[in-house]
Amino acid sequence: MDDRTLRLRTVRAAARELGLSDDGLRDVYVRTIGSRSAAGASAADLGRVLDALRAAGWVPKSRRRKGDRRPAGSAQARKIRALWVSAHNLGITYDPSETGLGEWIERQTGISAMNWVDPATLAKVIEALKFWIAREGGVDWPPADAGPLAARRAVIEAQLRRGGQLAAEVDIRRMGASELDAIIGQLGVEVRRRRAA
């Protein structure tokens, strides 16, 4: 199945989950791609529609396959997941799911799930992700002892350099983790939209 077909199916499923009527979905098409139909929409157009549906409250379901183990819960695993979502919000990867992350980890380590990877290898995965995000996303990572808020601010600064714009004048140095995460998510929609165009 090609990317366009997969995205079109996802758009239709998301519209059902949001309870949108056919006319409601057509309104979303008009606002996002300027057409009342997805017939001539490209994969990038459908990506913009999905971003609009996420902004309207749709939350993608996990694409976990049968036989997948529960996600690893160590501090290293949480950091890897946070970095993976940051890569998504910088427009580097399209798939922010646990499955997408697992596939990337398998390419890096040859092991299909984080809960089977030893801590030393997970540390290498963290460094590889940080290097990739710095190179492809333009993130200037702060020193390790600067803490997680500094890392979030570095992601926001990179998003702003990649074309994201804050809706209002805000001081990200005064914000907590949840506020910074919300801004990263909002800017991520805009950055992905610009990169897909």
Q: Tens digits of per-residue pLDDT, 83-101? A: 999 999 999 988 888 888 8
- The answer to whether the CB of 163 falls within 8 A of the CB of 90 is no
Q: Which of 49-58, 77-86, 136-145 has the lowest mean pLDDT?
A: 49-58
For residue 64, pLDDT over 50 is answered with no
Mean pLDDT of the 99-119 span: 81
Mean pLDDT of the 17-22 span: 81
Q: How confident is the model at residue 72 (pLDDT cuts 50, 70, 90)?
A: low
Please report, for residues 21, 43, 158, 171, the alpha-carbon distance to residue 135 in angstroms, rounded to integers and kept in the order given: 43, 26, 11, 26
pLDDT digits (tens, 9 = 90+) for 150-172: 999 999 999 999 888 876 778 88
pTM for the whole thing? Answer: 0.62
97 and 187 share one domain: yes
The whole-angstrom distance between residue 29's C-alpha and the CA centroid of its chain comes to 22
103 and 32 share one domain: no
51 and 83 share one domain: no
Q: Is residue 162 part of a domain?
A: yes
Mean pLDDT of the chain: 84
80 and 177 share one domain: yes
88 and 164 share one domain: yes
One-letter amino acid of 162: R
- Is the pLDDT higher at 59 or at 75? 75
Q: What is the number of domains present in the chain?
A: 2
* Longest Cα separation, the chain: 53
**Dihedral sign, Cα of residue 30, residue 19, residue 3, residue 195:** positive
Radius of gyration of the chain from Cα atoms? 18
Q: How many CB atoms lie within 10 A of CB 119?
A: 10
For 93, the domain range is: 75-196
Task: Please tell me the predicted confidence (pLDDT) of residue 100.
Answer: 85
127 and 170 share one domain: yes
